[in-house]
Amino acid sequence: MEAENLITYARNAREYAYAPYSRFKVGAALLGKSGKVYTGCNVENASCSAGICAERCALSKAVSEGEREFVAIAVICDLKGPCTPCGICRQVLAEFNPDMQVIMANLVGNTKISNISELLPDAFGKANRLHG
């Protein structure tokens, strides 16, 4: 799937964001190895830590539907530059594929493409665990 198509899915998902506190709406579209696209948006809560980012929303939907392998994710928001995943989202995405392509975009068409391992070098992972 082309980056532009994945960005379109993310842009559409952004419209469903629940952001009454920050008014900062984010959309994400996660491409599974199966070819299926899973979308997500940020969902805020008065208890800030209870909210969820768009990327983790999409990933949770995918995992809950049985998808475990991912190729790419697009993230979009209203910033001057491309929207980058937060550190927690980078770590969660790295769990599934450190080489996953990350397509970062804003509403006016600026994009940047990278991968998780470039965005989060030396991510904590299964090899770092003491047990198991």
DSSP letter (8 states) at residue 52: B
**Which residue is it, tokens 């190895």?**
33
Torsion of CA 70, 71, 76, 81, to 10 degrees: 130
Q: In degrees rounded to 5, what are phi and psi of residue 39?
A: -105, 160
Kindly tell me the number of DSSP H helices and DSSP E strands found in the chain.
4, 5
* Bridge partners of residue 37, in order along the sequence: 31
Which of 4, 44, 55, 118 is catalytic? The answer is 55
- Whether residue 55 lies in the annotated active site: yes
Catalytic residues: 55
